[in-house]
């Protein structure tokens, strides 16, 4: 079977730490085998906590200068303003000027509108981790501005559930990013069903959140009011057609769009023992390094613009992990290869998660 990821072969592995209680160090790769549809019935299972917190401690022991990258990147603000303005202008053009240009609007929605939709998602992701401005309140406002180009209130709910994903990565019943039982059992490795599933991914994000059965929080209500207001204003000044353009861009952007492949790239298991993957390709330049997912999970306090520097400094930790170089091939391999499907994830029980976390104290002492 051909490899579906790349790995550097000329960089020595990092040194092992004596007395480290986690057998997975220093790269923190598990000994589990990836789940394969029609062979396995469920996702793969790890017996400890997610690897990122421990790998961060190990990396900082060798490269403490990485902490100087902690903070925020204020250039995210003008990027947000320009991107939001561009989408509203497009909605006005298609809603009030190019009224008969249906195929042009559809093509533009996929090429430009969907790309901007993905960019808004990256910006909202940055604000979720308070990486765009000094205060939490300021980051929430920037997230709402990015949400103007999205006709559905995403920013604040994403913030809530995404932070839970970081805290409980892979914990069954607690990580909202894990596919639901029916997704895994129905779709399995069927190419057509996987393609359809990718096209309804926007709906799946909403459904997974609803399954958690958690009441909305204050800022989620704010997001709803804000988005209903902006949708009404777009409808008033850009017309129904302008609003339809935004919905098209949203759906296409979160469906089978090259940048949407990062949803698959990040945690779907293309290799044994590794549950998080980075993408090192040219589209990172437009999508604010969202592909640097291992680096992000290891260092959630570092903004998008500094993640390549983290990889460069700690190259033996990242280039010895499997990574992707093409988002197109991520989608293509995921859809066409029967060995991949929604069950291509790894999970853990909350008990194993807690047991792994109990090792942190000893690992931190090794750090000193």
Confidence check: pLDDT of 169 > 60: yes
Kindly report the number of other CB atoms within 10 A of residue 239's CB atom: 17
| pLDDT bucket at 6, cuts 50 / 70 / 90 | low
Is residue 265 within 8 Å of residue 340, measured between CB atoms?
no
Q: What is the pTM of this model?
A: 0.93
Give tens-digit pLDDT for 325-345: 999 999 999 999 999 999 999
Taking residues 229-256, report their average pLDDT. Answer: 96
Residue 19 pLDDT:
86
Residue 328 pLDDT:
96
Confidence check: pLDDT of 3 > 60: no
Taking residues 353-362, report their average pLDDT. Answer: 92
Give tens-digit pLDDT for 71-120: 999 999 999 999 999 999 999 999 999 988 889 999 999 999 999 999 99
Q: How far apart are CA 35 and CA 16, in angstroms?
A: 28
DSSP string over 118-155: HHHHHHHHHHHTT-SSSSHHHHHHHHHHHGGGSSS--H
Give tens-digit pLDDT for 269-281: 999 999 999 999 9
Angle among Cα 125, 204, 270 to the nearest 5 degrees reads 75
Residue 7 pLDDT:
67
Write the CB contacts of 251 (distance below 8 Å, at least 6 apart in sequence). Answer: 202
Confidence check: pLDDT of 297 > 80: yes
SS3 category, 40: strand
| pLDDT bucket at 213, cuts 50 / 70 / 90 | confident
Give tens-digit pLDDT for 185-210: 999 999 999 999 999 887 887 788 78
DSSP string over 205-243: HHHHHHHT--PPPHHHHHHHHHHHHHHHHHHHHHHHHHH
CA dihedral angle for residue 105, residue 193, residue 297, residue 288, rounded to 10 degrees: -20
For the range 213-218, what are the long-range contacts, defined as Cβ-Cβ under 8 Å and sequence gap of 24 or more? 214/160, 216/157, 217/156, 217/160
Is residue 100 within 8 Å of residue 41, measured between CB atoms?
no
Average pLDDT for the chain: 93
Taking residues 245-255, report their average pLDDT. Answer: 95
SS3 category, 74: coil
Residue 8 pLDDT:
66
Residue 365 pLDDT:
81
Q: How far apart are CA 239 and CA 315, in angstroms?
A: 51
Quote the longest CA-to-CA distance of the chain: 70
SS3 content of the chain, % helix, strand, coil (to 5): 60, 5, 40
Q: How far apart are CA 125 and CA 119, in angstroms?
A: 10
Question: Which residues are paired to 40 by β-bridges?
Answer: 37
């Amino acid at each position: 079977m051909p490899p579906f990821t790349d790995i550097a072969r000329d960089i020595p592995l990092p040194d092992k730490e004596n007395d480290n209680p986690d057998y997975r160090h220093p790269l923190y790769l598990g000994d589990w085998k990836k789940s394969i549809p029609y062979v396995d019935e469920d996702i793969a299972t790890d017996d400890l906590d997610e690897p990122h917190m421990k790998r961060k401690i190990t990396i900082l022991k060798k490269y403490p200068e990485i902490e100087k990258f902690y903070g925020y990147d204020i250039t995210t603000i003008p990027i947000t303003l320009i991107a939001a303005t561009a989408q509203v202008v497009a909605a006005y053009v298609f809603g009030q000027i190019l009224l008969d240009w249906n195929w042009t609007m559809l093509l533009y929605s996929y090429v430009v509108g969907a790309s901007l939709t993905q960019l808004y998602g990256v910006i909202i992701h940055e604000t979720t981790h308070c990486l765009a401005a000094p205060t939490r309140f300021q980051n929430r406002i920037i997230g709402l501005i990015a949400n103007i180009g999205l006709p559905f209130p995403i920013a604040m709910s994403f913030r809530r559930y995404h932070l839970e994903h970081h805290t409980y990565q892979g914990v069954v019943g607690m990580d909202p990013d894990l596919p639901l039982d029916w997704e895994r059992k129905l779709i399995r490795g069927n190419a057509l069903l996987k393609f359809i599933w990718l096209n309804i991914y926007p709906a799946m994000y909403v459904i997974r959140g609803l399954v958690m059965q958690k009441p909305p929080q204050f800022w989620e209500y704010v997001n709803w009011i804000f988005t209903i207001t902006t949708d009404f204003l777009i409808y008033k000044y850009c017309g129904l057609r302008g609003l339809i353009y935004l919905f098209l861009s949203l759906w296409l952007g979160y469906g089978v769009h090259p940048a949407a492949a990062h949803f698959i790239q990040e945690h779907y298991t293309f290799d044994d023992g590794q549950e998080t993957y980075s993408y090192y390709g040219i589209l990172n330049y437009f999508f604010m390094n969202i592909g640097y997912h291992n680096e992000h999970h290891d260092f959630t306090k570092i903004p998008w613009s500094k993640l390549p520097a983290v990889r460069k400094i700690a190259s033996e930790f990242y280039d010895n992990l499997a990574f992707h170089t093409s988002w197109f091939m991520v989608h293509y391999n995921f859809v066409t290869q029967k060995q991949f499907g929604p069950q291509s994830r790894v999970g853990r029980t909350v008990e194993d998660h807690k047991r792994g976390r109990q090792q942190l104290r000893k690992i931190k002492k090794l750090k000193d």
